[in-house]
Structure 1
Amino acid sequence: MRLTSIKLSGFKSFVEPTHFQVPGQLVGVVGPNGCGKSNIIDAVRWVLGESKASELRGESMQDVIFNGSTHRKPAGRASVELVFDNSAGKAAGQWSQYAEIAVKRTLTRDGTSSYYINNQSVRRRDIQDIFLGTGLGPRAYAIIGQGMISRIIEARPEELRIFLEEAAGVSKYKERRRETENRLHDTTENLTRLEDILRELNTNLEKLEAQAAVAKKFHELQGDQEEKQKLLWLLRKNEAKAEQEKFFKEIERAQIDLEEQTAKLRHVEAELEHMRQAHYGAGDRLHQAQGHLYQTNSEIGSLEAQIKFVIESRNRLQSQLNSLTAQRDQWQRQGSQQQDELAEAEIALEEFGMRVEQSQQAVQDANERLPSLEQAWRESQLKTTESRGKIMQVQQQIELQSTHQRNASNILSGLAARRERLMQEKNGMAMPDDVHLSNLKLQLEEKQASLEEANMYLEEAQEQVPRLEEERRAAQELVSKETSANAQLEARLSALKQLQESVQAQGKVQPWLEKHGLAELPRLWQKLHIEQGWETALEAVLRERMSALEMSNLDWAKAFFSDAPPAKLALYAPNAGLAQPAPAAANGLKPFINLLQLNDPGQRALMNDWLRDVYVADDTAIAFAERSTLPLGGVFVTRQGHVVSQSSVRFYASDSEQDGMLARQQEIENITKQQRAQYMLAEEAKGRAVRAEAALSSASQRLQELRQRTASLTQSAHSLQIEVMKLAEVQERFNQRSTQIATDLEEIGMQEAEQQQVQAESEARFEQLDIELAELQEQHENGQTDYLTREQQLNDARTRLRELERSSQETEFAEKSHRSKIEELKRSIATALEQAAQLFASMQQGSLELESLDDQAAQAGLQELLDRRSEQERALADARHELDQLSQQLRTHEENRMQAERSLQPQRDRITELQLKEQAARLNQEQFSEALAQTQADEAALSEKLTADMRPSYLQGEVTRLTNAIAALGAVNLAALDELATASERKHFLDAQHADLNEAITTLQDAIHKIDMETRDLLQVTFDKVNHHFSELFPVLFGGGQAKLIMTGDEILDSGVQVMAQPPGKKNATIHLLSGGEKALTATALVFSMFQLNPAPFCLLDEVDAPLDDANTERFANMVKRMSDHTQFLFISHNKIAMEMAQQLIGVTMQEQGVSRIVAVDMESAANFSSAEQAA
């Protein structure tokens, strides 16, 4: 890949879009200091992914954006693009297929940074991947900035090793190894989390298996309960249906009675309606008489208002005629007065017209004289301005020469003072103490040995502490587990004991027992022990005898014959049947008593009596089949408690909470034993936890002591190392400063001679300019006098013109005012005449209206209406009397109707009551039907299960029993079965993941081992080759001497690299003793050695030749020329020898302050052009 062009826009000083070609293998960048040459190097480093602002000579990344200048505003974004020729296809990855690759980076003020390859948005890492292993990158050896040569050669061995890795091309291996380690770390963490999940999952599986068994039992009981509940609902539904039919028949009979009484009510209502129609007719006649009376009253009111209006109008018109007469007289007087004013205004208007003409002529004369005065003034002003400009130019040159003289004088004074300081510093410099430095180095080696020993012990302690922490954690988990198990057993035991005590204390017989002092006697079930699973069978056989009370003498029971207990109760004396023999097995049958564990002879005798002829059967079917083998009076009993004799089958079902007491008692005893054993396990686990905690505390304390000792040794070694470095730096600074002082004194002498010459030339130029300034000032004073005279004449003429214009405007305004006044007076006179005529017409109209007003006809009509009103008032009184009589009759009939209607209400209430009962029965039927429908019950199948003797109370009792049985199960995880299946499936999946992760860890570890082997081999080969090239190039650049690379450790993967170089004639022990130029040549030889091994596509050199003299610069240039066959070089230099080797020169200028521009020159074309001109 070759760099063909660079494009910059808004980057540092390159504010304008700048594009320059890089066509050759040797391209030089030249220009004065501060013009922006190094910004090109920074631009290349930045576009290759540099993210550290200090490496770009800035404080933040926004500093790369042009920040403005004196005449330019700051830019909003920076952009740099590098274009590469990839015709050979050496680019890495997917980009190898492109013949040209453009790498671009942009940055905006808001911090948004974007990367592009061939205008495709990519990541910063994608750009770095293209150049991995090529020596290119933001901080690789192929980009050498100012001061980087000295930093390379003075770098620590670990830092120098980075350049060797880049030359070996192992940076891509390191990146792969880092990614692999990250994946291995993530995989290990995932495996740890997975193992924690599996441990927790196994614990949950054990719990879920127990919960699933309870859930299964719950579902069985719930199924039985639902069936009994459905039968209860069906029975209740049938009862509600029968009640509904009964109430419906009663409603029909009550409605027939109600209809008979309703017919009687309708007859009364018909008579009432007839009387109501007559009442309505009388009311209409009353309303009609009232309407006639109201109309007559209205007409009377209207005539009275009309008469009143005529009187008021006559008065009003007379008043208006008087007012109009007064107004007409006033308008006539006003018109006569305005006629006089109009005559005076017309005379004044003629006078102002003459004055206007005179003022306009004067203004015109003044305007004609003004242009000639202005022209003379401008010519005088131009001459004065020219002379002032010449004077300012001469004064600036004089000030410049004065500044040159002062600067030269200041520089000479500063140089003299600097010479004095350098001589004093040279005489006062002390030689460094080499003996003290050697002693400190020996002490440092001893401290480092002690530190290595302490680190070894520290590593052992650090490995021990995690192991002890794991043991403590395991012990604490065991304590938690055993304590939790113990707490669960205690909780279960407490719950069973409470249930047993509460059941024993319940029942009707308890008060009777307390009354007779028998409540504390032991129960039989407390002393019985039977094989597990047969507790229900024993309860089915013994029934109430399970709770029999033990008495030492059975004769005491005689006292209870007169006061029998209120419920079933059995009493026994264990010694009463000692003489009875044990029952013998018949026909190979297994006696039930053999399942009991009886150590007390009295108890055994009692059980022999009670369980005689009771045998064991595995299930009901077997018992039923073998019932013929039973002896007379014998029975089979099954685990479920069902009893089969030769002639009967008795099914067992729990009918009280007393059942199950024997099973609970045996469970209490078993749990008590388990709880004791679990308590011992918990105590043992606590002991282990205490021991693990003590061991961990001891190891942690030892680790802390070792860390403190290591820190102390590290601090001591670090202090010694710093002191050694300080003394070494003092020694190096002494040598460097001595050389620098001699060089500075020589430069001071040269600068003094140069400044003295500048000072003499400036003094001669100053005298010449002083004479020229005096002549120009005399010419300027003469021109200034003429200018002021012309300016005064022009101002006087302008003032006279303004006064004439103002007087003319005032005269014109007065003329216009009089014209307006004349027009206004004419309009006022016309208005007065018009108003007087209108008022006269109004007076004539008012007189006619006054004569037309007459009220005699209205007075006659009013008397006629008053007579008609008297007749209508008498007719209204007759109609009101008739209406009152009909209203009394209507109220009588209404009372009869209401009495008949009230007699219907009791019957309606009876029907409503029956309807409510029928509705309640129907709602009950619908409720039970809905309940059956919601549970999707098959009513036909349920009806077949119903029997004639089945009652709701029995079914309700069964539902209650099953509900109690479900409640006895306690909290049930109904989702346990599904959760168990899900957890089992998840465990299978996690087991597979566990195996995959273990396999992945093995694969990643093998990959890291393989990468380390390949990296180790490649680094060793690279180190040998670079060392070989370094030993060859060093004598070429120095003209002799020797140099080599030394590995500081045994393991090449983490060892540093140290440079040993001895120029011709020197036997220095360290690289730090070399001069600046020698260090630069050594670093150059090292970098070029890496280039010969792994040539980068191009190399950037920023003033690398600055410390070199001409001879070394020439050798450096020759070597660069030879290497340019394989590597493209872009270098910045101020050295003419280095410039001569360039095939193209790129000049960077800064004609505008703060803005860089490019000027490119092809040296071969320029040379050919020069030769052609000389030939011509």
Structure 2
Amino acid sequence: MRLKSLKLAGFKSFANPTTFTFRHDITAIVGPNGCGKSNVIDAIRWVLGETSAKQLRGGAMSDVIFAGVEGRAAKSLASVELIFEHTQDETHGIRHELNLYQELSLRRQVTKEGKSDYFINGQRVRRRDVVDVFLGTGLGARSYAVIEQGMIGRIVESSPMQLREFIEEGAGVSRYQVRRADTEKKLSETQDNLKRLSDLQGELKKQHKTLIRQAESAKQYQALTDELKVLQKDDLIRRLFEAWRHHEQKKGEQSKSSETLAKLEAEANQVRRELDVLSARVAEAQWLKDEAKDNYHNAQMAEQTAQHNFYTVNSQIAQNDEKIARLNAQHHDALTNIEHAQDELLQINQSLDLILPETETMTHELNNAKQTQSEAQMAWQSRRDELNGLIQEKNNLENLKKLAQSQRQRLEAGLTKWQARYDELVAAKSHFSDTTEAQKQLSADTLKAAALRQKLEHLNDDEALKSVVEELRVAVQTSQAHVQSQEKRHASLMGEYEILHKLTHTKVQSNKITMAPDADALTALNALPSLKESLALTGAGLAHADILDQFLGFWLSARLSDDLPTAFLDHAMDDNDHVILKSGKKSDAGIVSSSIHANEVISQLPTSLQQQLVRFDRLFSAPTLELFGRCYLYVGDEPLTDLQTGALLGVMIVTKAGWLVGSFGMMHLSKLGDTSSQFLSDRKKHLERLEVLEDELNTLEDSLEKDQKQFKQAMTRLQSSKIELEEVIAQKHAATQQLHQLEQSVTTLTAKLDSEKSRRESIDNQLKQLDDENDSIKNELQELKVEIDTCELSLSELEPKFEQANQAMAVQTARIEEAAAKLKAQNDSYQALQIKLGTLTQAKTHAERLLEMAKHSASQTQADIETTKSMQQELSQKLPVLEEAFKAAKAVSHELKLASDEYELAAKAQQIAQSQLQETLTEAHTKFATAQAALAQISADTAVGESRVQDIGGELMRLDESFNLASKLADFRTNSNQNFTDNSARQNQIKIKITELGAVNLAAAAELAELEARVSPMDEQINDITQSMKKLQDAIRAIDEKTKTLFLTALEAVNKELNALFSKVFGGGQASLTLMADDDLPKSDKWRAGLVLMAQPKGKKNSRLAVLSGGEKTLTALSLIFAIFKQHPAPFCVLDEVDAPLDDANVARFTGLIRELADDVQFIFISHNKLAMQIADELKGITMPTAGISSLVTVDLQEAQKYLEIND
């Protein structure tokens, strides 16, 4: 494989599309500094994948685009393309799926926005693909094949790990390092999967222990709630008695408050009527007062206007007097200035009459002096031209002499070089060796290579196995993507399911309220969370969820809102109901007892109405509250306005329209405040969504389990196929490597034999050419000697002419100096006279201007005096009239002020009386409002008490069907001093124990079984992942062993070549690369350490690189680079002015190394050294005809030599 061409367009200084073709083994790029030679190196590194703008001598990647120059616009795109040929070569070709043809095109382009694209054979690829294509070839953005300016010196100063990277690239282990990195990435992902699975397994085991504890807590919870129900039943009668006694007391207070309220209302009405009469009188007095104030205000305005007019005229008269005096003074000054200006103008005119005749005489003398100087100058110029002609002739002769002498020196130096070259060729011809042994070795290696090719033909039949691996890889990726998608879907649904399950099943612990207005309010507040979590509707209840929401929201808030009627307190939650809500247990005892009483009450209603009533225990499936046994839903459409509500003792009816009917009367739920809720409707939606989620999760889990099994099977098949394919590839690689070495040996021997023959013929031809050159040089030297003698004779004849011309020049120079001195004196006198004349002219102009200004000022001031006196006379006539008007307006204003003060005193007296009566009315209203609020509170307490009696009675009827509320109330009226035992202490103890249990999960047993089913298959999954990790680790170890073998083999070979090349260029000495001692690395990894370069030139004891000269460092680095090339030749080598630090002798050694490697490696180098240019087969000249734009000029030296031979 070799580089065929390089194409640049818009890259840095190459604004025009430019193509470099490389047809020869050695190409030199030359040109002056700053013309863009190094941009060629930058282009090669850039297209091979360089990503650092700093490495390309720029600040940003967009800096590689042509930035424009004067007369040439900037480019918006930069493009570089490399074209390689013979890329399918078995030995030095590219083994990659993108290399489909014998030629490979690599192109990279970048836009102003910084977007960079890569193309291989016109197909868009990634940068990673470009790197993969050239892995193992020695080519790359920062490989040893591209050496930029200054880099050759930095190589010997590189860190140990940087030197190691050079050897690794030369050993061809980069492709294995990429495979190892990919395998490590897979291993890391597998470890992450194992960690996630282990974490999930540990979390599930923790949940298993928790569920066992929850099942035990559920048993304790059931026993405590049973005992609590018995105690609550005994406590109901005590609460009923207390509620009845409180209700009777509030009735008496309500009657007394009504009488007090009526009396206070009558008193307030009488005060309001008296206040209305007084308010009308106050309004009339206020109107009179405002009218008087307006009249007084108008009179004041008239008085102020008259006063202002009088004072204004007085002020203007005084100002005019001052102005007349000032104008008189200005008029007198103007007359004085006129007299002064006329005297000054007369004096200036007299001076001008004296100066003008003197000026005319001086002008005539000055013209005569200028004429004399001009004639002397013309004579001097004539002598000067004659002298310059002689000088030019002398310079021409001297230049001809110097040129001839320079040509003679060049020919003498060429003769010396000719002799050195002749001796070198004679010596080289005598050192040719015998080639018999090399020909025998060539035949043997050719036979071995043929046998290895037959073996490789059998191993190359691995396409079927690659196809199987690729199909399995695609199947695994597809299966993995499907499993991941299913897992994400499962996680999403499971999260939604757990949230809804908590909302519909979790038991919320009631808040502890240590201070509350009464026990029923505390019961309602604590029961609300439990009720929301435990309510469940039947099919019939779901159809009426909205109205049931409103009713239950009101019922639970009856004791918490001051806006609700007092009658509803009789329907507060029973303690037994509260325990049922907290425990979650079902109990029908309350329902049965309350429903018996309710049935008795409902049976007294019309039959048509009974048929349209549905009891709440048929609408709710849970919990079984006593409230549900005495509440009914009216499903009819007719209004219940004719119903006798007094008969509904202990029973409530809710209509579909939102009306609530009971013994307390009839009212609409919407008027009871915002106490409704939507938890029944929400719960319905949550339960429906839970059912859908359960079905989807079951289906998804079955599908996911099946997909995971398929994925595991596909992964197992893929791993086994990959191992089999890698074994075949390893065998093929070993055979290919051996064949490569044999072919390299054959190529080397063949090239060596051909080179030996070619060198013999070349030396003979060069010796013949040198003889011809020698004769030509001697003839030219003889001609130059004659030319130098002729120039010296002509120079001696010019000397007398020079002497005569210099003397004539001196005479003319003296005449010019004398005329110039006379002209200067005349000119100084003339300039002084002109200055004096100009000064008098300016003074005359200034005096005339002052005279004109003074006359105008006198005329203007006289006119102003006359105008001001006329105005003064008019103002003096107006002043008496304005004074009389001012006195009259002042008298009217005083009379109106007195009238306004009288009206204001009368209005204030009426307002004081009105304010006193208003305070009396306010006090009456306050008393009435206080009494009204007290009556409303008593009425509310009475209604709440009645409702509470009915609620407690209903709870008793649910607990005991034989209980009769009316009979019990009659018993209370007969014996109002009954005593009851309070068992609340025992109830509180049981409640505390239930609270200590916390939230109880009654479904713990089912959840425990489900959890155990999920945990069991996880051990098998963990075992499968562990096996996969082991296989990946084995693959990494195999790659490490292969890398180690290749690296150590390459290091040994490079060391051998390095020492040989170093001894050759230095005429002795030694150099080597050694592994750096690193105690931190284990013994098995010592080969991974960095490398240290040691160099000891001949005759020097110290081998430290720091003490070497610049040239020695350069030769040492070149020896290392060329040693790597001999071990692993890259397709081409690019060198940028690496010979700059070298002298001529070392340049000769450098060029000798290039010639030696040119048969195996294509060299492209930039140089200013003529000796280095001589070894090139082709010169690429970079010029810059237009500033900032590089152009290419190509010279084929072989073609040029043939042309010269033909012409000779």
- Into which bin does the TM-score normalised by the smaller protein fall? 0.3 to 0.5
TM-score, length of structure 2 as denominator length: 0.41
TM-score, length of structure 1 as denominator length: 0.42
Larger radius of gyration: 1
